[in-house]
Structure 1
Amino acid sequence: MRQVRLGNSGLRVSPLALGCMSYGDPGRGAHPWTLPEERSRSLIRAALEAGVTFFDTANIYSLGTSEEYLGRALRDFARREEVVIATKVFEPMHDGPLAGGLSRQAIMTEIDQSLRRLGTDYVDLYIVHRWDPHTPIEETMQALDDVVRAGKVRYLGASSMRAWQFAKAQHVATQHGWTPFVSMQNHYNLLNREEEREMLPFCADSGVGVTPWSPLARGLLTRPWGTETERTTKDLVQHRLYAQTAAADRQVVDVVAQIATDRGVPMAQVALAWLLSRPAVSGAVVGVTDPRHLTDAVAATGLDLDADEIERLEKPYIPHDTVELR
Protein backbone atom coordinates (compact mmCIF):
# COMPACT_ATOMS: atom_id res chain seq x y z
CA MET A 1 0.00 0.00 0.00
CA ARG A 2 1.24 3.49 -0.83
CA GLN A 3 2.25 5.84 1.96
CA VAL A 4 1.16 9.47 2.19
CA ARG A 5 2.30 12.47 4.18
CA LEU A 6 0.09 13.40 7.10
CA GLY A 7 -0.72 16.94 6.03
CA ASN A 8 2.44 19.00 5.63
CA SER A 9 4.29 17.06 8.33
CA GLY A 10 7.14 14.66 7.65
CA LEU A 11 5.15 11.74 9.09
CA ARG A 12 4.26 9.18 6.45
CA VAL A 13 1.26 6.92 6.99
CA SER A 14 -0.89 4.50 5.05
CA PRO A 15 -4.09 6.15 3.75
CA LEU A 16 -5.99 3.69 5.93
CA ALA A 17 -5.62 3.76 9.69
CA LEU A 18 -6.86 0.67 11.47
CA GLY A 19 -9.30 1.97 14.07
CA CYS A 20 -8.94 -0.10 17.21
CA MET A 21 -12.08 0.97 19.06
CA SER A 22 -13.50 -2.41 18.01
CA TYR A 23 -10.75 -4.28 19.87
CA GLY A 24 -10.82 -4.70 23.63
CA ASP A 25 -12.42 -6.53 26.51
CA PRO A 26 -16.21 -6.48 25.84
CA GLY A 27 -16.81 -6.45 29.58
CA ARG A 28 -14.95 -3.17 30.11
CA GLY A 29 -15.94 0.28 28.96
CA ALA A 30 -18.91 1.43 26.91
CA HIS A 31 -18.66 -0.86 23.86
CA PRO A 32 -20.08 -4.34 24.49
CA TRP A 33 -19.63 -5.26 20.81
CA THR A 34 -15.82 -5.19 20.89
CA LEU A 35 -13.75 -8.23 19.90
CA PRO A 36 -11.72 -10.32 22.37
CA GLU A 37 -7.96 -10.47 22.04
CA GLU A 38 -7.45 -13.45 19.72
CA ARG A 39 -9.90 -12.14 17.13
CA SER A 40 -8.42 -8.65 17.45
CA ARG A 41 -4.89 -9.97 16.93
CA SER A 42 -5.82 -11.80 13.75
CA LEU A 43 -7.27 -8.63 12.22
CA ILE A 44 -4.31 -6.48 13.27
CA ARG A 45 -2.00 -9.02 11.67
CA ALA A 46 -4.10 -9.08 8.50
CA ALA A 47 -3.94 -5.28 8.32
CA LEU A 48 -0.15 -5.36 8.57
CA GLU A 49 0.03 -7.97 5.82
CA ALA A 50 -2.19 -5.74 3.63
CA GLY A 51 0.24 -2.85 4.02
CA VAL A 52 -1.48 -0.84 6.75
CA THR A 53 1.13 0.99 8.84
CA PHE A 54 -1.16 3.36 10.77
CA PHE A 55 -2.96 2.15 13.92
CA ASP A 56 -5.37 4.33 15.89
CA THR A 57 -6.56 3.66 19.43
CA ALA A 58 -7.36 5.63 22.61
CA ASN A 59 -6.87 5.20 26.32
CA ILE A 60 -10.64 5.14 26.86
CA TYR A 61 -11.36 2.33 24.39
CA SER A 62 -12.46 -0.61 26.52
CA LEU A 63 -10.74 1.13 29.44
CA GLY A 64 -7.23 0.59 28.16
CA THR A 65 -7.55 -2.97 26.92
CA SER A 66 -7.60 -1.78 23.29
CA GLU A 67 -4.15 -0.28 23.83
CA GLU A 68 -3.00 -3.50 25.48
CA TYR A 69 -4.26 -5.71 22.65
CA LEU A 70 -2.73 -3.45 20.01
CA GLY A 71 0.60 -3.18 21.77
CA ARG A 72 1.00 -6.92 22.20
CA ALA A 73 -0.01 -7.64 18.60
CA LEU A 74 2.38 -5.08 17.11
CA ARG A 75 5.26 -6.35 19.23
CA ASP A 76 4.62 -9.86 17.92
CA PHE A 77 3.93 -9.03 14.26
CA ALA A 78 5.85 -5.85 13.36
CA ARG A 79 8.99 -3.85 13.94
CA ARG A 80 8.28 -0.78 16.04
CA GLU A 81 9.96 1.64 13.63
CA GLU A 82 7.77 0.42 10.74
CA VAL A 83 4.39 1.31 12.26
CA VAL A 84 2.68 4.52 13.34
CA ILE A 85 0.77 4.28 16.62
CA ALA A 86 -1.80 6.92 17.51
CA THR A 87 -3.60 7.08 20.83
CA LYS A 88 -5.74 9.69 22.57
CA VAL A 89 -6.23 11.53 25.84
CA PHE A 90 -9.21 13.33 27.41
CA GLU A 91 -11.83 10.86 28.64
CA PRO A 92 -11.79 9.90 32.35
CA MET A 93 -10.17 6.54 33.05
CA HIS A 94 -11.39 6.31 36.66
CA ASP A 95 -13.95 7.88 38.98
CA GLY A 96 -11.53 10.06 40.94
CA PRO A 97 -11.73 13.87 41.10
CA LEU A 98 -8.65 14.32 38.88
CA ALA A 99 -9.83 12.03 36.09
CA GLY A 100 -10.11 13.15 32.49
CA GLY A 101 -9.64 16.44 30.71
CA LEU A 102 -6.56 18.06 29.22
CA SER A 103 -4.91 19.55 32.28
CA ARG A 104 -1.18 19.23 32.70
CA GLN A 105 -1.81 16.68 35.44
CA ALA A 106 -4.07 14.57 33.20
CA ILE A 107 -1.77 14.65 30.18
CA MET A 108 1.37 13.77 32.16
CA THR A 109 -0.41 10.92 33.92
CA GLU A 110 -2.21 9.47 30.92
CA ILE A 111 0.72 9.47 28.47
CA ASP A 112 2.70 7.28 30.87
CA GLN A 113 -0.25 4.95 31.35
CA SER A 114 -0.78 4.66 27.59
CA LEU A 115 2.90 3.93 26.99
CA ARG A 116 2.79 1.22 29.64
CA ARG A 117 -0.27 -0.43 28.12
CA LEU A 118 1.09 -0.19 24.58
CA GLY A 119 4.48 -1.50 25.68
CA THR A 120 6.41 1.19 23.80
CA ASP A 121 8.72 4.07 24.65
CA TYR A 122 6.92 6.58 22.46
CA VAL A 123 3.67 7.28 20.64
CA ASP A 124 3.95 8.51 17.05
CA LEU A 125 0.78 10.60 17.18
CA TYR A 126 -0.83 11.77 20.45
CA ILE A 127 -4.36 13.05 19.90
CA VAL A 128 -6.51 15.19 22.18
CA HIS A 129 -9.82 13.36 22.00
CA ARG A 130 -12.04 16.40 22.61
CA TRP A 131 -11.80 20.08 23.53
CA ASP A 132 -11.53 20.70 27.28
CA PRO A 133 -13.57 23.80 28.22
CA HIS A 134 -12.33 23.69 31.82
CA THR A 135 -8.57 23.96 31.16
CA PRO A 136 -6.80 26.99 29.64
CA ILE A 137 -5.58 26.06 26.18
CA GLU A 138 -2.16 27.49 27.08
CA GLU A 139 -1.81 24.87 29.84
CA THR A 140 -2.82 22.08 27.47
CA MET A 141 -0.52 23.09 24.63
CA GLN A 142 2.48 23.60 26.91
CA ALA A 143 1.96 20.17 28.51
CA LEU A 144 1.67 18.56 25.10
CA ASP A 145 4.84 20.32 23.98
CA ASP A 146 6.60 18.98 27.08
CA VAL A 147 5.73 15.35 26.31
CA VAL A 148 7.06 15.87 22.79
CA ARG A 149 10.30 17.36 24.12
CA ALA A 150 10.57 14.45 26.58
CA GLY A 151 10.58 12.02 23.65
CA LYS A 152 7.35 10.32 24.68
CA VAL A 153 5.44 11.67 21.67
CA ARG A 154 6.61 12.41 18.12
CA TYR A 155 3.64 14.36 16.68
CA LEU A 156 0.43 15.89 18.02
CA GLY A 157 -3.10 15.57 16.66
CA ALA A 158 -6.57 16.74 17.61
CA SER A 159 -10.05 15.29 17.27
CA SER A 160 -13.62 16.57 17.02
CA MET A 161 -13.95 20.20 18.10
CA ARG A 162 -15.11 23.51 16.66
CA ALA A 163 -12.96 25.11 13.98
CA TRP A 164 -12.45 28.24 16.11
CA GLN A 165 -11.20 26.08 18.99
CA PHE A 166 -8.72 24.28 16.75
CA ALA A 167 -7.54 27.57 15.26
CA LYS A 168 -7.07 29.01 18.76
CA ALA A 169 -4.99 26.02 19.85
CA GLN A 170 -2.78 26.31 16.77
CA HIS A 171 -2.33 30.03 17.33
CA VAL A 172 -1.33 29.53 20.97
CA ALA A 173 1.23 26.89 19.98
CA THR A 174 2.75 29.12 17.30
CA GLN A 175 2.74 32.17 19.53
CA HIS A 176 4.77 30.41 22.25
CA GLY A 177 6.98 28.26 20.04
CA TRP A 178 5.26 25.05 21.16
CA THR A 179 4.52 22.00 19.05
CA PRO A 180 1.37 22.47 16.90
CA PHE A 181 -1.10 19.83 15.80
CA VAL A 182 -0.37 18.11 12.48
CA SER A 183 -3.68 16.26 12.14
CA MET A 184 -7.41 16.55 12.75
CA GLN A 185 -9.51 13.43 13.30
CA ASN A 186 -13.10 14.51 12.88
CA HIS A 187 -16.56 13.21 12.02
CA TYR A 188 -16.80 13.30 8.24
CA ASN A 189 -18.49 11.00 5.73
CA LEU A 190 -21.16 11.04 3.03
CA LEU A 191 -23.91 11.26 5.67
CA ASN A 192 -22.34 14.11 7.62
CA ARG A 193 -20.43 16.75 5.67
CA GLU A 194 -20.72 19.68 8.06
CA GLU A 195 -16.93 19.83 8.42
CA GLU A 196 -16.78 21.15 4.84
CA ARG A 197 -18.01 24.53 6.12
CA GLU A 198 -15.08 25.57 8.34
CA MET A 199 -12.79 22.81 9.59
CA LEU A 200 -11.71 21.25 6.29
CA PRO A 201 -10.92 24.56 4.58
CA PHE A 202 -8.90 25.62 7.63
CA CYS A 203 -6.97 22.35 7.63
CA ALA A 204 -6.31 22.54 3.89
CA ASP A 205 -5.10 26.13 4.18
CA SER A 206 -2.80 25.41 7.16
CA GLY A 207 -1.44 22.06 5.99
CA VAL A 208 -3.11 19.91 8.63
CA GLY A 209 -3.86 16.32 7.61
CA VAL A 210 -7.44 15.15 8.08
CA THR A 211 -8.14 11.54 9.09
CA PRO A 212 -11.90 11.21 9.61
CA TRP A 213 -13.44 8.80 12.06
CA SER A 214 -16.58 6.84 11.17
CA PRO A 215 -15.90 7.14 7.42
CA LEU A 216 -18.68 4.61 6.76
CA ALA A 217 -21.17 6.19 9.18
CA ARG A 218 -20.83 3.33 11.64
CA GLY A 219 -21.80 0.86 8.93
CA LEU A 220 -24.80 2.68 7.46
CA LEU A 221 -22.93 3.27 4.19
CA THR A 222 -21.97 -0.40 3.80
CA ARG A 223 -25.35 -2.07 3.41
CA PRO A 224 -28.88 -1.38 2.10
CA TRP A 225 -30.88 0.95 4.31
CA GLY A 226 -32.63 -0.74 7.23
CA THR A 227 -30.36 -3.76 7.46
CA GLU A 228 -29.89 -4.71 11.10
CA THR A 229 -26.69 -6.06 12.61
CA GLU A 230 -25.61 -6.81 16.17
CA ARG A 231 -23.90 -3.44 16.34
CA THR A 232 -26.88 -1.44 15.04
CA THR A 233 -28.97 -2.78 17.90
CA LYS A 234 -26.35 -1.86 20.53
CA ASP A 235 -24.61 1.23 19.18
CA LEU A 236 -26.32 4.18 20.87
CA VAL A 237 -23.92 6.66 19.27
CA GLN A 238 -25.11 5.66 15.81
CA HIS A 239 -28.65 6.56 16.83
CA ARG A 240 -27.54 9.93 18.22
CA LEU A 241 -25.59 10.83 15.08
CA TYR A 242 -27.99 9.80 12.35
CA ALA A 243 -31.53 9.17 13.62
CA GLN A 244 -32.73 12.76 13.09
CA THR A 245 -31.81 12.82 9.39
CA ALA A 246 -32.77 9.29 8.45
CA ALA A 247 -34.99 10.22 5.50
CA ALA A 248 -32.28 12.26 3.75
CA ASP A 249 -29.52 9.87 4.74
CA ARG A 250 -31.41 7.01 3.16
CA GLN A 251 -31.30 8.80 -0.21
CA VAL A 252 -27.51 9.05 0.02
CA VAL A 253 -27.19 5.38 0.95
CA ASP A 254 -29.42 4.45 -2.00
CA VAL A 255 -27.09 6.29 -4.40
CA VAL A 256 -24.07 4.53 -2.88
CA ALA A 257 -25.85 1.23 -3.49
CA GLN A 258 -26.66 2.14 -7.10
CA ILE A 259 -23.09 3.14 -7.94
CA ALA A 260 -21.74 0.06 -6.17
CA THR A 261 -24.04 -2.13 -8.26
CA ASP A 262 -22.99 -0.36 -11.46
CA ARG A 263 -19.34 -0.76 -10.55
CA GLY A 264 -19.71 -4.34 -9.33
CA VAL A 265 -18.08 -3.51 -5.98
CA PRO A 266 -19.30 -3.45 -2.35
CA MET A 267 -20.90 -0.25 -1.09
CA ALA A 268 -18.08 0.32 1.41
CA GLN A 269 -15.58 0.75 -1.42
CA VAL A 270 -17.64 3.51 -3.03
CA ALA A 271 -18.15 5.43 0.23
CA LEU A 272 -14.49 5.18 1.19
CA ALA A 273 -13.26 6.08 -2.29
CA TRP A 274 -15.35 9.27 -2.15
CA LEU A 275 -13.88 10.21 1.24
CA LEU A 276 -10.27 9.54 0.24
CA SER A 277 -10.71 11.81 -2.79
CA ARG A 278 -11.72 14.84 -0.72
CA PRO A 279 -9.36 17.83 -0.34
CA ALA A 280 -7.31 17.85 2.90
CA VAL A 281 -8.10 14.21 3.68
CA SER A 282 -4.87 12.27 4.24
CA GLY A 283 -6.56 9.03 5.20
CA ALA A 284 -9.48 7.43 6.98
CA VAL A 285 -9.79 5.57 10.26
CA VAL A 286 -11.57 2.33 9.43
CA GLY A 287 -13.05 -0.14 11.88
CA VAL A 288 -12.52 -3.76 10.91
CA THR A 289 -14.35 -6.60 12.64
CA ASP A 290 -14.34 -9.02 9.71
CA PRO A 291 -11.63 -9.78 7.09
CA ARG A 292 -13.90 -8.64 4.27
CA HIS A 293 -14.05 -5.17 5.85
CA LEU A 294 -10.30 -4.93 5.41
CA THR A 295 -10.46 -6.23 1.85
CA ASP A 296 -13.03 -3.57 0.94
CA ALA A 297 -11.05 -0.79 2.59
CA VAL A 298 -7.82 -1.70 0.81
CA ALA A 299 -9.62 -1.96 -2.53
CA ALA A 300 -11.13 1.51 -2.00
CA THR A 301 -7.68 3.10 -2.06
CA GLY A 302 -7.45 2.15 -5.74
CA LEU A 303 -11.01 3.06 -6.78
CA ASP A 304 -11.36 6.34 -8.68
CA LEU A 305 -14.83 7.83 -8.93
CA ASP A 306 -15.65 10.09 -11.86
CA ALA A 307 -17.13 13.57 -11.57
CA ASP A 308 -20.65 12.38 -12.38
CA GLU A 309 -20.56 9.73 -9.65
CA ILE A 310 -19.29 12.24 -7.11
CA GLU A 311 -22.05 14.68 -8.03
CA ARG A 312 -24.68 11.95 -7.64
CA LEU A 313 -23.30 10.96 -4.23
CA GLU A 314 -23.29 14.53 -2.92
CA LYS A 315 -26.57 15.83 -4.36
CA PRO A 316 -29.05 14.34 -1.81
CA TYR A 317 -27.22 15.74 1.21
CA ILE A 318 -29.00 18.14 3.56
CA PRO A 319 -27.48 20.14 6.46
CA HIS A 320 -27.17 18.24 9.75
CA ASP A 321 -27.33 19.61 13.27
CA THR A 322 -24.16 19.34 15.30
CA VAL A 323 -24.22 16.47 17.77
CA GLU A 324 -21.91 17.10 20.69
CA LEU A 325 -19.98 13.99 21.69
CA ARG A 326 -18.19 14.45 24.98
Structure 2
Amino acid sequence: MHKTLRPLSTLSSHASTTSRLASLQHHISPLSSSAAPKMPLIPSTMSSNKPRVILGLMTFGPPGTESKGGRITKLDDYNKCLDYLQQQGYNEVDTARAYIGGQQEGFTAQAKWQDRGLTLATKCYPVNPGDHSPEKLRASLEKSLQELGTKCVDIFYLHAPDRSVPFEKTMEACNELFKEGKFVKLGLSNFAAWEVSECWNIANERGWVKPSIYQAMYNAITRDIEKELIPCCRK
Protein backbone atom coordinates (compact mmCIF):
# COMPACT_ATOMS: atom_id res chain seq x y z
CA MET A 1 0.00 0.00 0.00
CA HIS A 2 1.27 3.43 -0.86
CA LYS A 3 0.41 6.44 1.23
CA THR A 4 0.37 9.88 -0.31
CA LEU A 5 1.46 12.44 2.24
CA ARG A 6 1.04 16.15 1.81
CA PRO A 7 3.22 18.75 3.44
CA LEU A 8 1.24 21.38 5.35
CA SER A 9 -0.34 18.75 7.57
CA THR A 10 -2.06 16.81 4.83
CA LEU A 11 -2.54 13.06 4.45
CA SER A 12 -4.12 10.92 1.77
CA SER A 13 -3.90 7.37 0.46
CA HIS A 14 -2.86 5.56 -2.72
CA ALA A 15 -4.54 2.23 -3.46
CA SER A 16 -2.87 -0.77 -5.07
CA THR A 17 -4.18 -2.10 -8.36
CA THR A 18 -5.76 -5.12 -6.73
CA SER A 19 -7.37 -3.62 -3.66
CA ARG A 20 -9.16 -0.47 -2.62
CA LEU A 21 -7.39 1.19 0.29
CA ALA A 22 -8.31 4.40 2.02
CA SER A 23 -7.49 7.00 4.64
CA LEU A 24 -8.41 10.58 5.38
CA GLN A 25 -7.24 13.47 3.28
CA HIS A 26 -7.03 17.01 4.63
CA HIS A 27 -7.35 20.25 2.73
CA ILE A 28 -4.26 21.86 1.25
CA SER A 29 -3.70 25.49 0.39
CA PRO A 30 -5.03 26.59 -3.03
CA LEU A 31 -2.81 27.10 -6.03
CA SER A 32 -0.94 30.37 -5.99
CA SER A 33 -1.20 30.75 -9.76
CA SER A 34 -4.55 32.01 -10.97
CA ALA A 35 -3.54 30.93 -14.46
CA ALA A 36 -3.25 27.28 -13.50
CA PRO A 37 -5.32 24.94 -15.68
CA LYS A 38 -8.69 23.88 -14.34
CA MET A 39 -8.56 20.13 -13.81
CA PRO A 40 -10.77 17.82 -11.74
CA LEU A 41 -8.17 18.18 -8.98
CA ILE A 42 -8.09 16.35 -5.69
CA PRO A 43 -11.32 16.49 -3.71
CA SER A 44 -11.09 17.72 -0.15
CA THR A 45 -12.45 15.32 2.46
CA MET A 46 -11.76 17.49 5.48
CA SER A 47 -15.47 17.96 6.15
CA SER A 48 -16.44 14.43 5.15
CA ASN A 49 -16.02 10.99 6.65
CA LYS A 50 -15.75 9.47 3.19
CA PRO A 51 -12.33 7.85 2.69
CA ARG A 52 -10.17 8.83 -0.25
CA VAL A 53 -9.34 6.02 -2.65
CA ILE A 54 -6.81 6.19 -5.50
CA LEU A 55 -6.46 3.42 -8.05
CA GLY A 56 -2.83 2.62 -8.81
CA LEU A 57 -2.32 1.60 -12.44
CA MET A 58 1.06 -0.15 -12.21
CA THR A 59 -0.31 -3.53 -13.37
CA PHE A 60 -2.74 -2.31 -16.05
CA GLY A 61 -1.19 -2.65 -19.50
CA PRO A 62 -2.03 -3.52 -23.11
CA PRO A 63 -2.01 -7.10 -24.40
CA GLY A 64 1.41 -8.73 -24.44
CA THR A 65 2.83 -6.81 -21.48
CA GLU A 66 2.63 -9.60 -18.92
CA SER A 67 6.43 -9.82 -18.80
CA LYS A 68 6.55 -6.10 -17.98
CA GLY A 69 4.17 -6.35 -15.04
CA GLY A 70 0.84 -6.33 -16.85
CA ARG A 71 -1.88 -8.23 -15.01
CA ILE A 72 -5.02 -6.66 -16.46
CA THR A 73 -4.26 -6.54 -20.17
CA LYS A 74 -7.65 -6.36 -21.86
CA LEU A 75 -9.12 -2.93 -22.45
CA ASP A 76 -12.60 -4.20 -21.64
CA ASP A 77 -11.43 -5.47 -18.26
CA TYR A 78 -9.63 -2.19 -17.60
CA ASN A 79 -12.80 -0.25 -18.34
CA LYS A 80 -14.76 -2.51 -16.00
CA CYS A 81 -12.32 -1.71 -13.21
CA LEU A 82 -12.64 2.01 -13.86
CA ASP A 83 -16.43 1.67 -14.05
CA TYR A 84 -16.47 0.01 -10.64
CA LEU A 85 -14.16 2.64 -9.15
CA GLN A 86 -16.41 5.43 -10.33
CA GLN A 87 -19.60 3.64 -9.34
CA GLN A 88 -18.28 3.76 -5.78
CA GLY A 89 -17.83 7.52 -6.06
CA TYR A 90 -14.07 7.68 -6.65
CA ASN A 91 -12.29 9.34 -9.55
CA GLU A 92 -8.54 9.33 -8.92
CA VAL A 93 -5.93 7.24 -10.73
CA ASP A 94 -2.15 7.13 -10.44
CA THR A 95 0.25 6.15 -13.22
CA ALA A 96 3.90 6.73 -14.17
CA ARG A 97 6.09 6.97 -17.25
CA ALA A 98 7.97 3.86 -16.10
CA TYR A 99 4.94 1.63 -15.57
CA ILE A 100 4.57 -1.37 -17.92
CA GLY A 101 7.78 -0.49 -19.72
CA GLY A 102 6.41 2.91 -20.69
CA GLN A 103 3.12 1.57 -22.07
CA GLN A 104 0.74 2.24 -19.19
CA GLU A 105 -0.10 5.85 -20.00
CA GLY A 106 -1.10 5.00 -23.56
CA PHE A 107 -3.35 2.23 -22.26
CA THR A 108 -5.02 4.74 -19.95
CA ALA A 109 -5.59 7.04 -22.90
CA GLN A 110 -7.36 4.15 -24.66
CA ALA A 111 -9.65 3.89 -21.63
CA LYS A 112 -10.61 7.55 -22.25
CA TRP A 113 -9.68 8.75 -18.78
CA GLN A 114 -10.45 12.38 -19.62
CA ASP A 115 -13.93 11.61 -20.91
CA ARG A 116 -14.54 9.83 -17.61
CA GLY A 117 -13.59 12.97 -15.68
CA LEU A 118 -10.78 11.24 -13.83
CA THR A 119 -8.11 13.03 -11.84
CA LEU A 120 -4.73 11.69 -12.92
CA ALA A 121 -1.20 11.72 -11.54
CA THR A 122 1.92 10.62 -13.38
CA LYS A 123 5.60 10.47 -12.47
CA CYS A 124 9.15 10.65 -13.81
CA TYR A 125 11.48 7.98 -12.42
CA PRO A 126 15.25 8.54 -12.75
CA VAL A 127 16.19 5.21 -14.31
CA ASN A 128 19.61 6.60 -15.20
CA PRO A 129 21.71 9.36 -13.61
CA GLY A 130 20.76 12.68 -15.16
CA ASP A 131 17.14 11.78 -15.87
CA HIS A 132 16.02 14.73 -13.74
CA SER A 133 18.14 17.21 -15.65
CA PRO A 134 16.02 20.01 -17.14
CA GLU A 135 16.17 18.55 -20.66
CA LYS A 136 15.36 14.97 -19.74
CA LEU A 137 12.71 15.91 -17.18
CA ARG A 138 10.93 17.97 -19.81
CA ALA A 139 11.20 15.16 -22.35
CA SER A 140 9.72 12.67 -19.89
CA LEU A 141 6.74 14.83 -18.96
CA GLU A 142 6.04 15.80 -22.55
CA LYS A 143 6.13 12.12 -23.53
CA SER A 144 3.68 11.37 -20.71
CA LEU A 145 1.34 14.10 -21.91
CA GLN A 146 1.57 12.80 -25.47
CA GLU A 147 0.82 9.23 -24.39
CA LEU A 148 -2.07 10.36 -22.19
CA GLY A 149 -3.50 12.59 -24.90
CA THR A 150 -3.58 15.72 -22.78
CA LYS A 151 -1.81 19.04 -22.33
CA CYS A 152 -1.85 18.92 -18.54
CA VAL A 153 -2.00 16.42 -15.67
CA ASP A 154 -3.36 17.08 -12.21
CA ILE A 155 -0.25 15.88 -10.37
CA PHE A 156 3.32 15.43 -11.56
CA TYR A 157 5.65 13.49 -9.26
CA LEU A 158 9.39 13.23 -9.14
CA HIS A 159 9.23 9.45 -8.70
CA ALA A 160 12.52 9.25 -6.78
CA PRO A 161 15.48 11.56 -6.23
CA ASP A 162 18.09 11.87 -8.96
CA ARG A 163 21.10 12.70 -6.81
CA SER A 164 23.32 13.19 -9.86
CA VAL A 165 21.50 16.46 -10.59
CA PRO A 166 21.45 19.35 -8.09
CA PHE A 167 17.96 19.67 -6.63
CA GLU A 168 18.00 23.35 -7.50
CA LYS A 169 18.23 22.55 -11.22
CA THR A 170 15.46 19.97 -10.99
CA MET A 171 13.16 22.26 -9.03
CA GLU A 172 13.77 25.11 -11.46
CA ALA A 173 12.89 22.79 -14.34
CA CYS A 174 9.70 21.77 -12.56
CA ASN A 175 8.80 25.42 -12.11
CA GLU A 176 9.22 26.10 -15.81
CA LEU A 177 6.97 23.16 -16.68
CA PHE A 178 4.42 24.39 -14.14
CA LYS A 179 4.43 27.90 -15.60
CA GLU A 180 3.79 26.37 -19.01
CA GLY A 181 0.65 24.73 -17.62
CA LYS A 182 1.82 21.13 -17.99
CA PHE A 183 0.75 20.11 -14.47
CA VAL A 184 -1.29 21.54 -11.61
CA LYS A 185 0.43 20.19 -8.50
CA LEU A 186 3.95 18.94 -7.86
CA GLY A 187 4.64 15.84 -5.79
CA LEU A 188 7.63 13.88 -4.48
CA SER A 189 7.94 10.13 -4.01
CA ASN A 190 10.64 8.01 -2.37
CA PHE A 191 12.63 11.04 -1.19
CA ALA A 192 14.28 11.07 2.24
CA ALA A 193 12.93 13.57 4.76
CA TRP A 194 15.96 15.85 4.41
CA GLU A 195 15.55 15.80 0.62
CA VAL A 196 11.88 16.76 0.91
CA SER A 197 12.86 19.64 3.16
CA GLU A 198 15.63 20.77 0.83
CA CYS A 199 13.43 20.68 -2.28
CA TRP A 200 10.63 22.56 -0.53
CA ASN A 201 12.97 25.22 0.86
CA ILE A 202 14.69 25.73 -2.49
CA ALA A 203 11.34 26.28 -4.19
CA ASN A 204 9.98 28.44 -1.39
CA GLU A 205 13.01 30.73 -1.29
CA ARG A 206 12.91 31.30 -5.04
CA GLY A 207 9.18 31.64 -5.45
CA TRP A 208 8.91 28.45 -7.50
CA VAL A 209 6.14 25.87 -7.44
CA LYS A 210 6.53 23.92 -4.21
CA PRO A 211 5.98 20.18 -3.78
CA SER A 212 2.68 19.81 -1.94
CA ILE A 213 2.15 16.04 -2.14
CA TYR A 214 4.25 13.10 -1.00
CA GLN A 215 3.72 9.45 -1.95
CA ALA A 216 5.41 6.73 0.09
CA MET A 217 5.18 3.10 1.09
CA TYR A 218 3.19 3.09 4.34
CA ASN A 219 1.09 0.38 5.95
CA ALA A 220 0.66 -1.49 9.21
CA ILE A 221 4.02 -3.24 8.73
CA THR A 222 6.05 -0.63 6.83
CA ARG A 223 6.07 2.37 9.17
CA ASP A 224 9.56 3.83 8.88
CA ILE A 225 8.28 7.14 7.57
CA GLU A 226 6.67 7.90 10.94
CA LYS A 227 10.05 8.82 12.45
CA GLU A 228 11.12 11.66 10.18
CA LEU A 229 9.15 11.92 6.97
CA ILE A 230 5.66 12.44 8.35
CA PRO A 231 6.85 15.12 10.82
CA CYS A 232 8.72 16.78 7.93
CA CYS A 233 5.60 16.81 5.74
CA ARG A 234 3.51 18.22 8.56
CA LYS A 235 5.85 21.18 8.89
Tell me which interval the TM-score lies in, with the shorter structure as reference length. 0.7 to 0.9
Which string of whole-angstrom CA distances, capped at 9 and with x for unpartnered residues, describes residues 266-324 of structure 1?
xxxxxxxxxxxxxxxxxxxxxxxxxxxxxxxxxxxxxxxxxxxxxxxxxxxxxxxxxxx
Bigger RCO (CA 8 Å, 6+ sep): 2
Summarize the Cα distance change of 1:186–1:76 in structure 2 as closer, same or farther, 3 Å threshold.
closer
Work out whether residues 174 and 180 of structure 1, in 8 Å CA contact, stay in contact via their aligned partners in 2.
Answer: yes
Cα distance in 1, alignment partners of residues 52 and 27 from structure 2: 9
Summarize the Cα distance change of 1:143–1:127 in structure 2 as closer, same or farther, 3 Å threshold.
same
Cα distance in 1, alignment partners of residues 65 and 212 from structure 2: 31
1:68 positional shift? 1.4
Equivalent residue in structure 2 for 1:186, among 196, 203, 216? 216
Instruction: Look up the match of 1:90.
Output: 125
1:164 positional shift? 0.3
Which string of whole-angstrom CA distances, capped at 9 and with x for unpartnered residues, describes residues 35-86 of structure 1?
113322221222122211211000110123211122222347513xxx3110
Q: Which structure: greater helix fraction?
A: 1
Which string of whole-angstrom CA distances, capped at 9 and with x for unpartnered residues, describes residues 203-240 of structure 1?
122xxxxxxxxxxxxxxxxxxxxxxxxxxxxxxxxxxx
Work out whether residues 62 and 70 of structure 2, in 8 Å CA contact, stay in contact via their aligned partners in 1.
Answer: no
Cα distance in 2, alignment partners of residues 62 and 100 from structure 1: 22
Q: What is the aligned length?
A: 197
Equivalent residue in structure 2 for 1:66, among 101, 104, 109? 104
Which string of whole-angstrom CA distances, capped at 9 and with x for unpartnered residues, describes residues 153-196 of structure 1?
11100101210011100011011111010100001100110000
**Amino acid corresponding to residue 84 of structure 1 in structure 2:** T
Work out whether residues 6 and 12 of structure 1, in 8 Å CA contact, stay in contact via their aligned partners in 2.
Answer: no
TM-score by length of 2: 0.75
User: What is the RMSD of the two structures over their aligned residues, measured on CA atoms?
Assistant: 2.6
Summarize the Cα distance change of 1:186–1:138 in structure 2 as closer, same or farther, 3 Å threshold.
same
Cα distance in 2, alignment partners of residues 18 and 84 from structure 1: 10
Partner SS, residue 186 of structure 1 = strand
- Summarize the alignment of residues 190-269 of structure 1 with structure 2, pairs less than 5 Å apart: 190-205=220-235
1:127 positional shift? 0.3
Summarize the Cα distance change of 1:50–1:74 in structure 2 as closer, same or farther, 3 Å threshold.
farther
**Amino acid corresponding to residue 193 of structure 1 in structure 2:** R
1:5 positional shift? 4.8
- Structure showing greater radius of gyration is 1
Summarize the Cα distance change of 1:147–1:177 in structure 2 as closer, same or farther, 3 Å threshold.
same
TM-score by length of 1: 0.55
Instruction: Look up the match of 1:21.
Output: 58
Cα distance in 2, alignment partners of residues 29 and 135 from structure 1: 33
- Summarize the alignment of residues 26-175 of structure 1 with structure 2, pairs less than 5 Å apart: 27-28=64-65, 31-36=68-73, 37-75=75-113, 78-79=116-117, 83-92=118-127, 101-175=131-205
1:99 positional shift? 8.0
